[in-house]
A and B are shown apart, each in its own frame.
Chain A
Amino acid sequence: MQDERLGIDDLRPRGLEKRTLMDLFMPRRRPFILFDPDRCTGCGTCEILCSTRNTGKIAPASASLRIVRDDARGRNLAVYCQHCRKPLCVEACPTRAMTRGEDGIVRIEKLFCTSCGLCTAACPEAAPLRDGRTAEIRKCDLCEGDPLCVKHCPNGALSYTKGKAFRWIKGVRWTVQLISFLLLVMVFLGTFCYFNAGSFGLSCPTGTLQNIFATGRIVLAGLASFLAIFLLTVLLGRFFCGWLCPFGFVLDLVDRIIPKKFGLPKFLKTRMAKYGILGGAAAGSAAFGFQVFCTVCPIGTLCRSYGQQGMFRGAEMAIVPLLAGLELTERRSWCRYFCPVGALLALFAKLHLLKIVIGAKKCKKFSCIQCAEVCPMGIIDGDKLREGLSPEIPMTECIGCLRCLDRCPYGAAKIRFRWQKGVPGEVTGAEVNR
């Protein structure tokens, strides 16, 4: 019979719950409180009410949230639990006192809590707060779904959201990526490299460029392709990379499976290597008389080798897993640093009509930076957001996946036209209160 007493293994920190396939597409709700520093006057009513619930007394030091007057920034900050999807406090707690419930609320079980403070150390917000009087660890439990602080904030600086049940952009993107992958890889063989419909033909722009250098001739289909891709990229940015590229889809899937273990050399961080590869591909094609990069292009080999005829192209099949292995370093590292197709689109995207802006003023939590975390191209400067400054997003590197828009709980990330000035939430010349 199994021993039902607690053993040492039971006391060891356990990992987070395993993610299911449903979590991939339809993650559980994340209820949390939104804080608007522009409305907060620092009156501390939230602290008072929270402490009365915690202790039965007006004891701001015993509240589960803390208002900090930040004089240097000239505004107030609130420290409270964000009820993260992957709470670090739960991982850090050695006694399993922290749990994330089915309702998405991260709770602390006082019976098991030893007040060691590891949760506070692990939390990027330092949200589990130590009670000034009893030294217990306290954290927000959202008053079980009806937060008192939100109800009675005199200035409406706090609001409560049950979280998005379904991120529609995410759902649409994954669906489009899947359909694109199936069409390009499984249905129409080799379509990405060259597609011919009657008298009209379209081809891969990088392949076309190499072809021009290899043969010294410009074909009409190639020009039409160039023009079509150019116009689409000017209009939508590197939309192809984020939504249609079958290899990008593979990388997004691989990213969910393999951990990040290694770093990449610093010289790659300038993101100029891909332009070098593009130039090298063109020069190589001119020298050898054929499209040299196409032989190793992961998109091309994926389309050619993994469909119905894939089994007959054994050597080519190795290219995809080899390059997908780069995901051990950074997300979409192939797209960030090496892909010549992306490099060509990046050159087109210099004339972008649309841009993505993130307004730090509307971004209510300096330490949230979820947009920077979800960006697969790593182009959102989280440090700037922490400083309360709006980061500039290089549209030549942005693949238009819209993850930032989807994830931001404050609506601080927006699509704007290139010529539109200002960022969301920026108030110019606010008047002093009367």
Chain B
Amino acid sequence: MNDLKIAVVDLDRRTVEITSREEDLRRESVGGAALNLNLIEQHGKENLIFGAGPLTGTFAPASALLVGSFASSRAGVIVHVPLLLTAGPDFRCSGIDHLVLLGAAERPILLHIDGGRVRFVELPPQASDLPSLEVSLRRSAPPFRSAILTGPAADAGVSLAAVSLGAKGSLDKAGLAGAMAAKNLKGILLGGSGGIGFADGDLRCSLELAGRIRRERKRGGGFASLVESAGGGDCLKALKGAKFSDAACFHCPAPCMVHARFTAADPRLPQGPKKQNGLLLMDPVGWIALAGKRGERALPLLWEAVRLGLDPAAAASLLPGEGVLTSDFDALSAMARGERAESPSTAQAPASSDPTFGGGLVAVGTGEEARRRTALAFILGVCPLLLQRFPQIVVDLPAFLPVDFLPASLDRAVERVLAQG
């Protein structure tokens, strides 16, 4: 097995301790959500853990998952938030498998991880939104490939806040942004300059698997299918007029996101010119909530919600019954500033049916088997949606695990994750 590197960062004292843990920990908990649970038990429930699975960043298809785990006061369970795109591989390429965040910083700070080291980075001059924060970080912070950031909404202590991968948004609907803000952690920058080893047969196996998935994918599984399976088929009409191209997470052969390009005038600039905007639609739940309420105006509203670091689904539930784009933009800004009364039902409430995987995952499958597959994905570090859409690949995934891997430990880890939920 690979070395398991765990970084324990005390934000209060600004100390970092990196340990290469003995193999028994991985044998016991495998990785990802299961090992995060283990670390929460070890360090205390008030702490926040980020962890990658043993397959994260490998040749396994869609090996993109990084799991953020914390004890959610609202949900009353330990919640595992999926962070996709390239966050997982970049996390592991930065030389760390798990990150334990203890205490809280005195003032908002950033962490930069690269080369197996964790550094504290001072926050650049306050940026008004996530895109400008990312730009100023690209200019002033040490080089990074991915960033897990919180936006103005989290700064204001709003519980509708969601974590954002760069300025692209995320599937966080469980309050990971709030948990980070409580620790005065503005973001984590992942340098991702290292590498991950692989075995000889992994590439061949990966290509075969990807081929099978692509053939199977012709029957559906894209963003529209996810929206439909979440009961929002009508909400697809709201995408009329926009142009699309597929988007996928790290090494995923079956893209379920889309880049949407739309033209809209910025309602904050009276009579301003129409401008082409782009947006990554990665959150079917958020899209259904906004499109169900605002129809064709949902695209600019989703763009604004992501820009302010708000969870679109929760924000949609707080929008007034009727409204024009300008008033909706004002409402979103007020929410991000914490000036709008929040309904307790929307704050930190996992939108999916299963609070354990408290993100915005669409429930593609139902029943105990589907839950087991999701737990397996959270432990191994692959996209849970891929395993739900293509359950037949579950049997192939252990081929990417190290040879000394014990299948029984995986079963135990799955049971453990499901049991705590």
Contact call A433/B246, Cβ cutoff below 8 A: yes
- Name the distance in Å between A36's Cβ and chain B's nearest Cβ: 10
The answer to the question of A62 belonging to the interface, with a C-beta cut-off of 8 Å to chain B, is: yes
Contact call B258/A432, Cβ cutoff below 8 A: yes
Contact call B253/A43, Cβ cutoff below 8 A: yes
Contact call B248/A432, Cβ cutoff below 8 A: no
Contact with A71, one of B193, B210, B262, B278 (Cβ below 8 angstroms): B278
- Name the distance in Å between B166's Cβ and chain A's nearest Cβ: 8
Contact with B93, one of A60, A154, A431 (Cβ below 8 angstroms): A60
Query: A residues 391-434 with Cβ under 8 Å of B?
Result: 427, 429-434
The answer to the question of B261 belonging to the interface, with a C-beta cut-off of 8 Å to chain A, is: yes
CB nearest neighbor in B for A73:
B278
Interface residue count for A (Cβ, 8 Å)? Answer: 42
Contact call B239/A432, Cβ cutoff below 8 A: yes
CB nearest neighbor in B for A62:
B195
Contact call A71/B167, Cβ cutoff below 8 A: yes
In the complex, what residues of B have CB within 8 A of residue A45's CB? Answer: 251
The answer to the question of B405 belonging to the interface, with a C-beta cut-off of 8 Å to chain A, is: no
Given A58-B58, A60-B89, answer yes or no on A74-B246 (Cβ-Cβ < 8 Å): no
- Name the distance in Å between A129's Cβ and chain B's nearest Cβ: 12
- Name the distance in Å between B234's Cβ and chain A's nearest Cβ: 14
CB nearest neighbor in B for A37:
B245
- Which one of A49-57, A330-338, A351-359, A376-384 contacts B? A49-57
Tell me the complex Cα distance, A427–B245, Å: 11
Query: A residues 62-84 with Cβ under 8 Å of B?
Result: 62, 69-76
Contact call A74/B59, Cβ cutoff below 8 A: no
In the complex, what residues of B have CB within 8 A of residue A152's CB? Answer: 207
Contact call A69/B279, Cβ cutoff below 8 A: no
Contact call B250/A43, Cβ cutoff below 8 A: yes
- Name the distance in Å between A89's Cβ and chain B's nearest Cβ: 21
- Which one of B153-161, B196-204, B354-362, B406-414 contacts A? B196-204
- Name the distance in Å between A44's Cβ and chain B's nearest Cβ: 5
Query: A residues 345-365 with Cβ under 8 Å of B?
Result: none
In the complex, what residues of A have CB within 8 A of residue B259's CB? Answer: 71, 74-76
Contact with B243, one of A57, A70, A430, A434 (Cβ below 8 angstroms): A430
Given A132-B192, A432-B224, answer yes or no on A57-B197 (Cβ-Cβ < 8 Å): yes
In the complex, what residues of B have CB within 8 A of residue A41's CB? Answer: 245-248, 252, 255
Given A74-B261, A427-B243, A432-B239, answer yes or no on A57-B223 (Cβ-Cβ < 8 Å): no
In the complex, what residues of B have CB within 8 A of residue A38's CB? Answer: 245
Contact call A133/B278, Cβ cutoff below 8 A: no
CB nearest neighbor in A for B86:
A44
- Name the distance in Å between B139's Cβ and chain A's nearest Cβ: 16
Contact call B246/A71, Cβ cutoff below 8 A: no
Query: B residues 250-286 with Cβ under 8 Å of A?
Result: 250-253, 255, 258-262, 276-281
In the complex, what residues of B have CB within 8 A of residue A69's CB? Answer: 168, 247, 280
The answer to the question of A122 belonging to the interface, with a C-beta cut-off of 8 Å to chain B, is: no
The answer to the question of B14 belonging to the interface, with a C-beta cut-off of 8 Å to chain A, is: no
- Name the distance in Å between B132's Cβ and chain A's nearest Cβ: 12
Tell me the complex Cα distance, A133–B93, Å: 10
Contact call B194/A59, Cβ cutoff below 8 A: yes
In the complex, what residues of A have CB within 8 A of residue B192's CB? Answer: 60-61, 132
Contact call A432/B222, Cβ cutoff below 8 A: yes
Query: A residues 248-297 with Cβ under 8 Å of B?
Result: none
The answer to the question of B214 belonging to the interface, with a C-beta cut-off of 8 Å to chain A, is: yes
In the complex, what residues of A have CB within 8 A of residue B278's CB? Answer: 70-75
Given A433-B222, A433-B223, answer yes or no on A154-B214 (Cβ-Cβ < 8 Å): yes
Choose among B207, B220, B225, B248 the residue with the greatest number of A CB atoms under 10 Å from its CB: B248
Contact with B260, one of A49, A55, A74 (Cβ below 8 angstroms): A74
- Residue interface bits B70-110, CB-to-A below 8 A is 1, else 0: 00000000000000001001100100000000000000000
Beyond contacts A429-B240, A430-B245, A434-B224: 19 other A-B pairs, Cβ-Cβ < 8 A, are A41-B248, A42-B247, A57-B197, A58-B57, A59-B193, A60-B90, A62-B193, A69-B247, A70-B278, A71-B279, A71-B280, A72-B278, A74-B243, A74-B245, A75-B278, A131-B193, A132-B145, A154-B214, A433-B224
Q: Kindly list the 6 A-B residue pairs having the minimum CB-CB distance in the complex, ordered from nearest.
A: A74-B278, A57-B195, A59-B195, A132-B193, A433-B222, A74-B261
Interfacial residues, chain A to chain B (CB-CB below 8 A): 37-45, 48-49, 51-52, 55-62, 69-76, 131-133, 152, 154-155, 427, 429-434
A-B contact pairs, 21 of them (CB 8 A): A43-B251, A43-B252, A43-B255, A44-B251, A45-B251, A58-B57, A58-B196, A60-B192, A61-B193, A62-B195, A69-B168, A71-B168, A72-B278, A132-B114, A132-B145, A152-B207, A154-B253, A429-B243, A430-B243, A432-B260, A432-B281
Interfacial residues, chain B to chain A (CB-CB below 8 A): 57-59, 86, 89-90, 93, 114-115, 131, 143, 145, 167-168, 191-198, 203, 207, 210, 214, 220-225, 236, 239-241, 243-253, 255, 258-262, 276-281
